[in-house]
Chains A and B, each alone.
Chain A
């Protein structure tokens, strides 16, 4: 079976259009980030978080009423996951387990008829959040630098720049989309340690795709010496199209499976990876390769690999 015979699509001639689309999407994401922000999980803000499973459904308002009796009325309360579990989260800090105990006590006293189970309980100092933010930033920057260097060495500097810009684009778009969709879909899109890991992973997976395209370009430049860079790149993109669709398709497939079947705890993580995977495929063509092309055109020299 094959999906494609030899194709000859001119990808790069319409790249300016796609630059604008990317720009627009990133802009929308940034606006959403500044207006709506994103849901920082307890990892970042510190505080206490308790996940309850109730024998009968309790409304947010009811729970809030119960919490007010112990002075925790302005906690965040929301449903978590797909089974009606409720999450209570507050940034209140106190010695020991006081906050967690208070929450449990309040629920117990206010709803004596309801049996509940504490599925998980987390308590974090705010100091950790600051560290996590710092470490996450370092990790992302370190990844981008490492990749820039490796690709610059194995290919050429402009390729490194193209690849890193593509990755940057992927991270921004994913972040923006998470912000936009937060609250609109029944997936927990709070930013936790795992979600940061998902961002780093999508950097790793997206670059994988970009490098395969670059490898083919590198090979084809040697073969098709008479063609312009744009033509060689298009040729390379077409040559690898089959592989691109299949591999990215199969990765997308397993990510969607993870999203649907992996349980509530990994849903945010899987979602970030899924979005990242989609933009990653796109960015290998319309950011990475396009940037390399444009930078070489500006230098008015053929970019030999």
Chain B
């Protein structure tokens, strides 16, 4: 009896966990349906009210793979040959010829580039140190240095890609390192392959730009605000423009903000709308008067971008003034994520080409993370001038138009050796190191695989997958009942729990559901009944030998266990190996298979046992056909 109770508790816990994991998916579905049924103003109001919940649901729901959603999947690989080429100095014709030869060989077969490259040099009797690092370094040192550079190049490439993809505003992008040299980029819903390819290739642009003073920044923000409400167009730029062309009434800012679809009723006097009307721009920003930075909620970023990129608003900005966004978000005390808007000089003081090296480190005096930066002689000279003229001001480090950091200039830096302080965490220092090197050193990547699936194919796949699953489930349920009668119903209940646990675990692991994954679910439905069949057949045999019902059930479970265990372990092993072998969709299949096996064992052994015991306790005789 005690056994029974603990089993029931176990089952209850499992069910609660599964439902808890799956709840966000259900919520997300409900919210989407609700938003679709409302229109315009109502829909926006609904969205604002439930925003936090909608975001959490979206984050925690079961995600669909690209083969079900549509979108693009790209695999990038560090172009080792290009990297070796870029890292070399004093190249001569000989060098270029050798590179060319290795490139030809690499096209024809899958050769390990760095060893082959090194061997060519060795065969030619040339030391690698002629083209790399110090003359004193031997070949082995240089080879291992090249290998580590290749790995670091991947990290740089990942950061660059992540930065750019984020600016491209793809929803739920997935960027992952694969192995030592590859990056997988998944962009759901993206269709324009050419744009995406531009996104992923091309050298990164690193710039150092001075930040504008806080009061200038505030005045600019205010003037945008006033411009939008039509109160005054009295900015310097606008006065000049007024002389040139007739004044246009600025579009209703609210219309702009709401995506141009809805106007609130003229009689709408709610407080929020009033504030929105009076400060259509400022009300979305939190302004820091000390630093001149403005903070925008991540949900509002798109609106502000749309406003800032409008031609008429661009005209209100002073010359040599540009707003750039931070690359990463900050989480404030209210729990929301904010992007920072930096007011910067348009023309950069320095570009990335002048940086020789950057290294994350720790200041021995106060144990805080710092980044040490080294520039070449030309850069050092400029940097000395810039820092000397701007003591106390802030300089933004910008990579591909994303601001990563804006440290304050404490003093003139003459030798090109700078140390960036005021960094919050070692991770931030590491990121800054990657960013600085990204602008300086190349991280050349080649696209080795590109798959794009259209949304209609995705929808078809979802539909077929779903119908196959339901049909398989229906047939199996029917068959179990027909063949094993009441015991069959018990098996069906177990199957139901099995599916619940399978989906719950997948949601819990934030696994992605792919089409092969759905096939895995269908297969699990077929295989799940095996344990039940083994148990039921055993019970039937025991009943024939004349045992009582209870004794037969007990014996059935005991004897069937070894078969269930051994057979499932072997299949599980195969699933494990399949997971290692496959990528993307195939891994999705392996995962559903493995989880399905574990869930089916749990359901078949524990849930059915509990159910049988419950039935027998209440005097209901489960029949075994």
Interface centre among B457, B472, B519, B566 (most CB of A within 10 A): B519
Does chain B have a CB within 8 A of A131?
Answer: yes
Does chain A have a CB within 8 A of B273?
Answer: no
Q: How far apart sit A142 and B581, CA to CA, in the bound complex (Å)?
A: 10
Does A146 contact B457, Cβ atoms closer than 8 Å?
Answer: no
Please name all residues of chain A whose beta carbon is closer than 8 Å to the beta carbon of B573 when the two chains form the complex. Answer: 143, 146-147, 150, 204
Could you tell me the distance in whole angstroms from the C-beta of B190 to the nearest C-beta in chain A?
Answer: 12
Could you tell me the distance in whole angstroms from the C-beta of B108 to the nearest C-beta in chain A?
Answer: 9
A26-34, A177-185, A242-250 - interface stretch: A242-250
Does B566 contact A262, Cβ atoms closer than 8 Å?
Answer: no
Does chain A have a CB within 8 A of B171?
Answer: no
Does B516 contact A253, Cβ atoms closer than 8 Å?
Answer: no
Could you tell me the distance in whole angstroms from the C-beta of B600 to the nearest C-beta in chain A?
Answer: 11
Chain A 98-136 residues near chain B, CB threshold 8 A: 100, 117-125, 127-128, 130-131, 135-136
B509-544 interface mask toward A, CB cutoff 8 Å, 1 = contact, 0 = none?
Answer: 000000110110011011101100110010011000
Does B530 contact A247, Cβ atoms closer than 8 Å?
Answer: yes
Does B530 contact A120, Cβ atoms closer than 8 Å?
Answer: no
Could you tell me the distance in whole angstroms from the C-beta of B212 to the nearest C-beta in chain A?
Answer: 40
Does chain B have a CB within 8 A of A58?
Answer: no
Does A265 contact B527, Cβ atoms closer than 8 Å?
Answer: no
Does B471 contact A257, Cβ atoms closer than 8 Å?
Answer: yes
Could you tell me the distance in whole angstroms from the C-beta of A86 to the nearest C-beta in chain B?
Answer: 14
Does A263 contact B461, Cβ atoms closer than 8 Å?
Answer: yes
Q: How far apart sit A262 and B516, CA to CA, in the bound complex (Å)?
A: 10
Q: How far apart sit A77 and B341, CA to CA, in the bound complex (Å)?
A: 52
Could you tell me the distance in whole angstroms from the C-beta of A174 to the nearest C-beta in chain B?
Answer: 15
B551-569 interface mask toward A, CB cutoff 8 Å, 1 = contact, 0 = none?
Answer: 0000000010011001111
Please name all residues of chain A whose beta carbon is closer than 8 Å to the beta carbon of B526 when the two chains form the complex. Answer: 250-255
Does chain A have a CB within 8 A of B373?
Answer: no
B450-466 interface mask toward A, CB cutoff 8 Å, 1 = contact, 0 = none?
Answer: 11111011001101110
Q: How far apart sit A203 and B578, CA to CA, in the bound complex (Å)?
A: 11
Interface size on B, residues (CB 8 A): 74
Could you tell me the distance in whole angstroms from the C-beta of A249 to the nearest C-beta in chain B?
Answer: 8
Does chain B have a CB within 8 A of A278?
Answer: no
Smallest CB gap from A207: residue in B = B570
Option from B197, B467, B485, B519 in Cβ contact (under 8 Å) with A269? B519
Could you tell me the distance in whole angstroms from the C-beta of A161 to the nearest C-beta in chain B?
Answer: 15
Does A201 contact B574, Cβ atoms closer than 8 Å?
Answer: yes
B297-305, B381-389, B585-593 - interface stretch: B585-593
Option from A1, A209, A250 in Cβ contact (under 8 Å) with B625? A1
Does chain B have a CB within 8 A of A97?
Answer: yes
A16-24, A212-220, A286-294, A295-303 - interface stretch: A212-220
Chain B facing A: main interface SS: helix
Does chain A have a CB within 8 A of B263?
Answer: no
Chain A 193-235 residues near chain B, CB threshold 8 A: 193-194, 196-197, 200-201, 203-205, 207-209, 211-212, 214-216, 219
Does chain A have a CB within 8 A of B105?
Answer: no
Given A117-B454, A131-B110, A139-B580, decide whether A208 and B570 contact each other with a Cβ distance below 8 A.
Answer: yes
Q: How far apart sit A235 and B67, CA to CA, in the bound complex (Å)?
A: 48
Does A262 contact B522, Cβ atoms closer than 8 Å?
Answer: yes
Does B464 contact A204, Cβ atoms closer than 8 Å?
Answer: no
Q: How far apart sit A4 and B25, CA to CA, in the bound complex (Å)?
A: 45
Does B575 contact A204, Cβ atoms closer than 8 Å?
Answer: yes
Given A1-B485, A97-B193, A254-B475, decide whether A201 and B457 contact each other with a Cβ distance below 8 A.
Answer: no
Could you tell me the distance in whole angstroms from the C-beta of A302 to the nearest C-beta in chain B?
Answer: 21
A128-167 interface mask toward B, CB cutoff 8 Å, 1 = contact, 0 = none?
Answer: 1011000110110011001100110010000000000000
Does B450 contact A122, Cβ atoms closer than 8 Å?
Answer: yes
B179-204 interface mask toward A, CB cutoff 8 Å, 1 = contact, 0 = none?
Answer: 00000000000000110010000000
Does chain A have a CB within 8 A of B361?
Answer: no
Option from A121, A125, A261 in Cβ contact (under 8 Å) with B467? A261
Please name all residues of chain B whose beta carbon is closer than 8 Å to the beta carbon of A142 when the two chains form the complex. Answer: 577
Smallest CB gap from A43: residue in B = B449
Does A203 contact B574, Cβ atoms closer than 8 Å?
Answer: yes
Option from B453, B482, B519, B571 in Cβ contact (under 8 Å) with A120? B453
Q: How far apart sit A211 and B530, CA to CA, in the bound complex (Å)?
A: 13
Does A143 contact B574, Cβ atoms closer than 8 Å?
Answer: yes
Please name all residues of chain B whose beta carbon is closer than 8 Å to the beta carbon of A150 when the two chains form the complex. Answer: 569-570, 573
Does chain A have a CB within 8 A of B476?
Answer: yes
Smallest CB gap from B467: residue in A = A261
Given A128-B448, A150-B569, A257-B472, decide whether A194 and B516 contact each other with a Cβ distance below 8 A.
Answer: yes
Does chain B have a CB within 8 A of A266?
Answer: yes
Does B578 contact A254, Cβ atoms closer than 8 Å?
Answer: no
Please name all residues of chain B whose beta carbon is closer than 8 Å to the beta carbon of A265 when the two chains form the complex. Answer: 67, 457, 461, 515
Given A201-B574, A203-B574, A211-B567, decide whether A266 and B534 contact each other with a Cβ distance below 8 A.
Answer: no
Could you tell me the distance in whole angstroms from the C-beta of A260 to the nearest C-beta in chain B?
Answer: 8
Does chain B have a CB within 8 A of A72?
Answer: no
Could you tell me the distance in whole angstroms from the C-beta of A136 to the nearest C-beta in chain B?
Answer: 7
Interface centre among A151, A219, A261 (most CB of B within 10 A): A261
Could you tell me the distance in whole angstroms from the C-beta of A171 to the nearest C-beta in chain B?
Answer: 12
Does chain A have a CB within 8 A of B479?
Answer: yes
Q: How far apart sit A266 and B67, CA to CA, in the bound complex (Å)?
A: 11
Does A151 contact B450, Cβ atoms closer than 8 Å?
Answer: no
Does B582 contact A193, Cβ atoms closer than 8 Å?
Answer: yes
Does B593 contact A254, Cβ atoms closer than 8 Å?
Answer: no
Option from A125, A194, A242, A243 in Cβ contact (under 8 Å) with B586? A194
Does chain B have a CB within 8 A of A273?
Answer: yes
Please name all residues of chain A whose beta carbon is closer than 8 Å to the beta carbon of B110 when the two chains form the complex. Answer: 127, 130-131
Please name all residues of chain A whose beta carbon is closer than 8 Å to the beta carbon of B67 when the two chains form the complex. Answer: 265
Option from B456, B525, B563 in Cβ contact (under 8 Å) with A211? B563
Option from B463, B533, B540, B566 in Cβ contact (under 8 Å) with A247? B533
Does B582 contact A255, Cβ atoms closer than 8 Å?
Answer: no
Does chain B have a CB within 8 A of A270?
Answer: yes
Option from A130, A215, A242, A258 in Cβ contact (under 8 Å) with B519? A258
Q: How far apart sit A136 and B463, CA to CA, in the bound complex (Å)?
A: 30
Does chain B have a CB within 8 A of A2?
Answer: yes
Smallest CB gap from B529: residue in A = A250
Could you tell me the distance in whole angstroms from the C-beta of B480 to the nearest C-beta in chain A?
Answer: 8
Could you tell me the distance in whole angstroms from the C-beta of B398 to the nearest C-beta in chain A?
Answer: 28
Given A208-B570, A243-B534, decide whether A200 and B448 contact each other with a Cβ distance below 8 A.
Answer: no
Option from A123, A130, A154, A251 in Cβ contact (under 8 Å) with B523? A251
Option from A127, A204, A269 in Cβ contact (under 8 Å) with B516? A269
Please name all residues of chain A whose beta carbon is closer than 8 Å to the beta carbon of B529 when the two chains form the complex. Answer: 246-247, 250
Q: How far apart sit A204 and B527, CA to CA, in the bound complex (Å)?
A: 11
Does chain A have a CB within 8 A of B29?
Answer: no
Q: List 16 A-B contacts (CB under 8 A).
A: A1-B484, A97-B197, A119-B453, A125-B448, A131-B110, A142-B577, A147-B573, A154-B566, A207-B570, A208-B527, A208-B530, A243-B533, A250-B529, A258-B523, A263-B460, A269-B519
- Chain B residues with CB under 8 Å of chain A are 67, 75, 109-110, 193-194, 197, 447-454, 456-457, 460-461, 463-465, 467-468, 471-472, 475-476, 479, 482-485, 515-516, 518-519, 522-523, 525-527, 529-530, 533-534, 537, 540-541, 559, 562-563, 566-575, 577-578, 580-583, 585-586, 589-590, 593, 625
